[in-house]
Amino acid sequence: MAASGLPPLPPQLKAVQHYLRTAQELDKREPVVAYYCRLYAMQTGMKTDSKNPECRKFLCKLMDQLEAMKKQLGDNEAITQEIVGCAHVENYALKLFLSADNEDRAGRFHKNMIKSFYTASLLIDVLTVFGELTDENVQHRKYARWKATYIHNCLKNGETPQSGPVGMEDEYNENEEADSQGLHNQEAQPSPSAFESGNVPASSFTGIHIPPGAHAPANTPAEVPHSTGTTSNAIQPTPQSIPIVDPSLYNVQAAGEMRLTPEDFARAQKYCKYAGSALQYEDVSTAVQNLQKALKLLTTGRE
């Protein structure tokens, strides 16, 4: 595959092709996510083969592309601050994941939903540029890849998939290149229902926890740019309900009276991170909820 401005992808770097293709698809809609997809591809390519002349030439061109993007997005905090960038990519991946899960739960099986599951799993891979994945994200990635493969194979064979995690004991083999190639190459039309529901359940399947605030913000467009004329039933947007600020939080403890642990500060920082990311999507309700959680933790030492 040859990305825009890049030479043909060497066979040795075949493992990064889906991430580069995802970056191309998101260049206009989500340039920050596209940037980190390319960064992940470059880091993975360097580990795979940086000595072969063909690979080195490709990776140098990819590095130039990254530098150009970084300069263009230089005033974006999601590029200059890793914690903001991590929150941005993570929330975007979980939006795709939860929109696909919502369609799956409703029994609406289509190519757009399959690709949302699969792309979400790729973006969770991309999160490793920021460090080790959380247990929740590891679970999300495994479930998303299994679900995408299962539904893809069912539709290909003319079978009706089962909603939810039924049958997950049949493990998905991540090395099945043919399946993953088919998943990424399939075309799908953006579904109006993909992100319009602002009240996606926080935890809608067995054994997998959705981090607080990491649900699909309302009124965000679907991300798959291709079209085959296949659509799904639309879910009407749910108006955002902005929570009332807890009056008890106004009684802030005086400085020095509350002793917080490093873990408390880390959790408060995570709530603020989710709030900031939610504001990028104008999701006021999620932002307020997470800011309240951070404030409560900082003023009472409890969640």
pLDDT band of residue 185 (cuts 50, 70, 90) is low
Residue with tokens 């539904």: 151
168 DSSP 8-state letter: T
Q: What is the pLDDT of residue 228?
A: 34
Cβ burial of 126 (10 Å; 0-12, 13-18, 19+) is buried
Assess whether pLDDT exceeds 70 at residue 167. no
CA gap 125, 133 in Å, rounded: 8
Element at 266 (helix H, strand E): helix 262-280
Closest by CA position to 296, among listed 253, 259, 244: 253
Mean confidence (pLDDT) of the chain: 75
Q: What is the pLDDT of residue 220?
A: 32
CA gap 23, 69 in Å, rounded: 12
Apex CA 115: angle with CA 62 and CA 204, to 5°? 120
Strand locations in 137-204 (E): none
CA gap 20, 44 in Å, rounded: 11
Name the CATH topology of 247-300.
1.20.5
Q: What share of the chain is helix, strand, coil (3-state, %, to 5)?
A: 55, 0, 45
pLDDT band of residue 37 (cuts 50, 70, 90) is very high
CATH of domain 11-185: 1.25.40.270
**Domain ranges (residues) in the chain:** 11-185, 247-300
Closest by CA position to 240, among listed 225, 218, 224: 218
Assess whether pLDDT exceeds 70 at residue 30. yes
Q: What is the pLDDT of residue 210?
A: 38
Cβ burial of 96 (10 Å; 0-12, 13-18, 19+) is buried
CA gap 248, 228 in Å, rounded: 53
Closest by CA position to 155, among listed 118, 99, 113: 113
What does the pLDDT look like over 83-132, one tens digit per residue?
A: 999 999 999 999 999 999 999 999 999 999 999 999 999 999 999 999 99
